[in-house]
């Protein structure tokens, strides 16, 4: 299809401009993530951010964008079926979303067959690096984020005795490994490690071991659901250690589930609505007006993914009709696309570089931790 070039800034975030015109076409985004169940917050927030980006792109006129959203329910089998559906629908130009690395990994062979580009925003497993020429993500990998948190814990916070807990899956194992290696390199001691199954409710037996080790910090490599329960049960057992967790815990649901027990917990993420910059101002205003809440990091990443798509479409259109293949090539050529989580450039492995904020729960909300690297 041929695409009208988009020619201005959206909500304070600029796209490449071009005086040339082409016949307007409709770009269809196949969006899939866990949109129901215990972990729906990731997918629902990404979708909100993407919705806002699509609205901004469509307001410019000419080229139009629409979203075909499907709930994968957090199931790999469902993810493969959805990938097959998107592949067979010739109107789908790109796939976005994904809450779980395992589901993206299961679906990628399908996308390879039909050469359908994927831009994911919440899957962080190192196993996805260089996994396919058609896969990219605008979120940092666990190897990068976990190491940054390990450095932060040991160097910035000066923590010496750390107990590591992680969920038993690609995400939890990968981030715990990166955290532990970095923390030990910086002089901390990992006094114990334990894993737990996603969906676990009772951590008291595990936490009894933690209490006996007398750590000054506990790193929880997992999602907000389990992090909240671990915090509650740890405090009930009299454990006063500093609680640390991941971007998987960076969700307002953490405070709803953990209540006062998560006060003081430090997590990390690529976005903080309290940090105003020229790039974020318009996004924050539009998001709050639309959804009556502050945007999460996942909403910000979903928004930036949408704006990166707009830039890629514009770039692909310079060379003629926009196809799945030309759009995929354009993604690889993007350079420093401005965004609310920082500039987006994809390296040869499909990954993106970037910075992290370290955020602390204070008075029931996330804010910048007093100590930053």
Q: HEC states along 321-348? A: CCCHHHHHHHHHHCCCECCCCCCECECC
Residues 37 and 161 in one domain: no
Confirm whether pTM is higher than 0.85: yes
Contact 219, 179 (CB under 8 A): yes
For residue 88, report the phi and psi dihedrals to the nearest 5 degrees.
-75, -15
Burial (0-12, 13-18, 19+ Cβ within 10 Å), 282: middle
Does residue 347 belong to any structural domain of this protein? no
Instruction: Classify residue 313: in a domain, yes or no.
Output: yes
225 and 320 in a single domain? The answer is: no
In the prediction, which pLDDT does 321 show? Answer: 86
In a domain, 342, yes or no: no
pLDDT for the residue numbered 22: 54
Residues 158, 63 share a domain: no
Containing structural domain, residue 245: 143-269+357-368
Establish if 128 belongs to a structural domain: yes
Phi, psi for residue 299 in degrees, rounded to 5: -65, -40
Residue positions counted in the chain: 373
Residue 1 lies in a domain: no
Based on the fold, state whether residues 97 and 166 are members of the same structural domain.
no
Instruction: List the CATH number of the domain containing 248.
Output: 3.40.50.2300
Look up tokens 């917050």; give the residue: 41
Query: Do residues 284 and 251 both lie within one domain?
Result: no
Question: Do residues 217 and 248 both lie within one domain?
Answer: yes
The answer as to whether 171 is a domain residue is yes
pLDDT at position 62 is: 72
- 261/285 same-domain check: no
Q: For each of the chain's 373 residues, which pLDDT tens digit applies?
A: 433 333 333 444 444 444 444 556 789 999 999 999 989 999 999 999 999 999 999 998 777 999 999 999 999 999 999 999 999 999 999 999 999 999 999 999 999 999 999 999 999 999 999 999 999 999 999 999 999 999 999 999 999 999 999 999 888 999 999 999 999 999 999 999 999 999 999 999 999 999 999 999 999 999 999 999 999 999 999 999 999 999 999 988 999 999 899 999 999 999 988 777 777 989 999 999 999 999 999 999 999 999 999 999 999 988 888 999 999 999 999 999 999 999 999 999 999 989 899 999 999 999 999 999 9
Spatial distance between the Cα atoms of 73 and 36, rounded to a whole number of angstroms = 6
Contact 14, 279 (CB under 8 A): no
Instruction: Indicate whether 184 and 264 sit together in one domain.
Output: yes
Number of domains in the chain: 2
Distance separating alpha carbons of residues 60 and 7, to the nearest angstrom = 8
- The Cα–Cα gap between 92 and 305 comes to 16
Mark whether 134 and 159 lie in a shared domain: no
Residues 124 and 154 in one domain: no
Q: Are residues 362 and 262 in the same domain?
A: yes
Does a structural domain hold residue 338?
Answer: no
Contacts for 157-161 with beta carbons within 8 Å, 24 or more apart? Answer: 157/217, 157/242, 157/266, 157/371, 159/183, 159/188, 159/216, 159/217, 159/242, 160/187, 160/188, 160/189, 160/216, 161/188, 161/189, 161/191, 161/213, 161/214, 161/215, 161/216, 161/217
Verify that 52 and 136 share a domain, yes or no.
yes
Whether 3 maps to a domain, the answer reads no
């Amino acid at each position: 299809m041929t695409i009208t070039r988009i020619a201005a800034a959206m909500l304070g975030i600029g796209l490449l401009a071009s005086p040339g015109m082409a016949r307007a076409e409709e770009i269809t985004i196949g969006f899939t993530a866990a949109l129901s169940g215990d972990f729906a917050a990731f997918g629902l927030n990404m979708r909100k951010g993407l919705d806002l980006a699509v609205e901004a792109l469509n307001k410019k006129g000419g080229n139009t964008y629409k979203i075909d959203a499907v709930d994968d329910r957090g199931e790999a089998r469902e993810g493969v079926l959805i990938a097959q559906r998107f592949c067979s629908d010739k109107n789908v130009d790109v796939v976005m979303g994904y809450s779980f690395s395992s589901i993206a990994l299961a679906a990628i062979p399908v996308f390879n067959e039909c050469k359908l580009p994927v831009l994911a925003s919440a899957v962080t497993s190192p196993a996805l690096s260089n996994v396919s020429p058609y896969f990219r993500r605008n979120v940092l990998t666990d190897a990068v984020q976990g190491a940054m948190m390990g450095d932060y814990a040991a160097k910035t916070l000066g923590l010496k005795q750390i107990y590591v807990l992680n969920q038993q899956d690609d995400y939890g194992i990968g981030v715990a490994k990166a955290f532990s290696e970095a923390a030990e390199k910086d002089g901390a001691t990992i006094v114990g490690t334990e894993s737990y199954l996603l969906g676990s409710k009772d951590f008291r037996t595990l936490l009894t071991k933690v209490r006996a080790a007398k750590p000054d910090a506990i790193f929880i490599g997992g999602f907000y659901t389990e992090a909240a329960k671990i915090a509650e049960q740890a405090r009930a057992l009299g454990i006063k250690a500093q609680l640390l967790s991941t971007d998987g815990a960076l969700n307002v649901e953490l405070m709803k589930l953990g209540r006062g027990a998560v006060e003081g917990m430090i997590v990390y993420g690529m976005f903080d609505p309290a940090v105003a910059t020229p790039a974020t101002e318009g996004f924050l205003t539009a998001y709050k007006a639309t959804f009556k809440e502050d945007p999460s990091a996942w909403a910000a990443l979903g928004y930036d993914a949408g704006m990166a798509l707009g830039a890629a479409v514009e770039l692909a259109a310079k060379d003629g009709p926009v196809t799945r293949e030309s759009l995929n090539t354009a993604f690889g050529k993007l350079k420093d696309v401005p965004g609310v989580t920082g500039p987006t450039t994809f390296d040869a492995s499909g990954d993106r570089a970037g910075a992290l904020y370290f955020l602390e729960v204070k008075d029931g909300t996330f804010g910048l931790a007093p100590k930053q690297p």
